[in-house]
Amino acid sequence: MTEPDDLAAFRAEVREFLRDSLPPELARAGRRATSVFSHPDHSIPWQKILTAKGWGAIDWPVEYGGTGWTPMQKYIFSAECARAGAPNLLPQGLKMVAPVLMHYGTDEQKAYFLPRILSGEHYWCQGFSEPGSGSDLASLKLKAERDGDHYVLNGSKIWTTHAHFANWMFALVRTSSEGKPQAGISFLLIDMATPGLKVDPIISLAGEHELNQVFFDNVRVPVANRLGEENDGWSVAKYLLTFERGGRYAPGLFAQLAKLEGEAGDDPVLQERLRREKVTLEALEALELKSINASGAKSALYASVLKVQGTEAAQRIDTLACEIAGLAGWAEADGQSPDLLATALPRYLNGRAATIYAGSNEIQRDLIARAVLG
Ligand SMILES: Cc1cc2nc3c(=O)[nH]c(=O)nc-3n(C[C@H](O)[C@H](O)[C@H](O)COP(=O)(O)OP(=O)(O)OC[C@H]3O[C@@H](n4cnc5c(N)ncnc54)[C@H](O)[C@@H]3O)c2cc1C
């Protein structure tokens, strides 16, 4: 299918920009990334380059620094970035807390935080899960007691991705034990440099340090850093999770598949499996494009479906990459790209977590069943 002229011209403009502005060392780091969470040494410089061009937050409304692009333009941009090997931008700030700030934030909160997210000055982490509170998130216990114009926080958060790099955390805390557990939660924005806050590393199966446990010992957070009303943090969190789970999975996966097609040689079985994945990705892409116009409960439903489909496709593709890299090793790596050999296994191991984080896929299937079957 040929692309309409205006989109073809847009694609050419994006390609030219990437050719001129994506530094080769960042493209190399992007191609060798073994996680969807790029290291800040790569994501922040790329964020700054994009922001200087006016393309730093393509999904934001224009008034806050967005591009005003159509959904197809955003799709093309994501696909071209993935094809060129651009590092992923960290989602916690741009994709997760920013839309929540726009919806629930006071004018002061928006004016302070949004430009600093766009510029890359603020690097965010997500403090939702606790030891004992993952899928059953509403059972969370981290206590926030009011003391004048501050909350005093005691407890711990766990599995906090990139907390060791972050200078800000958005977190769910318990401000009341009355009534339903969901009714006593508030949403706070926490400066990671606050005294009493400690970050301990958790090393993953792949030997990587992405995760942490964060401890709070009488950490004082200004009441002015609360987003939304006291005890209404559950609504804020549900709004945020739609942005975390939904979005664009297909462009990056298509780029990964295209690389594997070149690596698989003429093995008919592998080529057939790659073709099957391509068909699955085409269906995923169609669903992602359809989800763009959804709102409210429909948009939450799409987000769950896309999370399940996107992460499971990614794991199948990671498995294929390992098999192809294994065959390459068997054939003494004749003509195989060093990127594939270096990254296939760490990517596979890291990617096992994708069906767990952002709410496990079992939980997403429960949510889908409830939304569809009632
Ligand atoms: C790599 C990684 C990064 C993460 N990053 C962050 C982060 O930055 N911030 C953050 O707050 N959290 C983060 N998490 C935590 C993540 O959100 C939780 O791991 C997830 O919600 C699951 O919770 P749990 O680990 O406590 O497992 P549990 O809730 O104990 O679940 C264990 C198993 O039981 C299944 N299960 C549980 N309840 C049900 C049910 N009702 N029906 C069917 N099956 C069920 C689950 O699907 C899972 O397979 C991260 C996790 C990982 C692995």
Per-residue pLDDT averaged across 125-152, rounded? 97
Pocket test for ligand 1, best of 140, 209, 360, 364 (most atoms within 8 A of CB): 360
* Predicted pLDDT of residue 326: 81
**Is the per-residue pLDDT at 201 higher than 90?**
yes
Which residue's alpha carbon is nearest to atom 51 within ligand 1?
A: 357
Location of structure tokens 């739609």: 242
Per-residue pLDDT averaged across 158-163, rounded? 98
Which residue's alpha carbon is nearest to atom 29 within ligand 1?
A: 135
Burial of 301 (0-12, 13-18, 19+ CB in 10 A): buried
* Predicted pLDDT of residue 337: 62
Q: Determine contact, residues 86/33, Cβ cutoff 8 Å.
A: no
The closest of 13, 104, 101 to 55, measured between CA atoms, is 13
Band of the pLDDT at 252, cuts 50, 70, 90?
Answer: very high
- Summarised one tens digit per residue, pLDDT across range 326-347 is 876 655 555 556 677 778 999 9
List, in sequence order, the alpha helices (H) in 164-295: 233-245, 250-263, 268-291
Give pairs for 197-202: CB < 8 Å, separation 24+.
199/160, 199/163, 199/164, 201/164, 202/158, 202/159
Which residue's alpha carbon is nearest to atom 25 within ligand 1?
A: 134
- Rounded to whole angstroms, how far apart are CA atoms 267 and 324? 10
Q: What percent of the chain has pLDDT over 70?
A: 97
- Rounded to whole angstroms, how far apart are CA atoms 231 and 361? 28
- Summarised one tens digit per residue, pLDDT across range 267-300 is 899 999 999 999 999 999 999 988 988 888 888 8
Residue 133 CA to ligand 1 center (angstroms) comes to 8
269: left (phi over 0), alpha (psi -120 to 50) or beta: alpha
- Summarised one tens digit per residue, pLDDT across range 62-116 is 999 999 999 899 999 999 999 999 999 999 999 999 999 999 999 999 999 999 9
| pTM for the structure as a whole | 0.93
Q: Which residues are catalytic?
A: 244
* Predicted pLDDT of residue 50: 98
Pocket test for ligand 1, best of 202, 356, 363, 366 (most atoms within 8 A of CB): 356
Enter the tokens of residue 180. 């339903």
Residues with CB under 6 A from ligand 1: 125-129, 134-135, 159-161, 211, 353, 356-357, 359-360, 362-363, 366
* Predicted pLDDT of residue 14: 98
Per-residue pLDDT averaged across 222-234, rounded? 98
Is 1 strand, coil or helix? coil
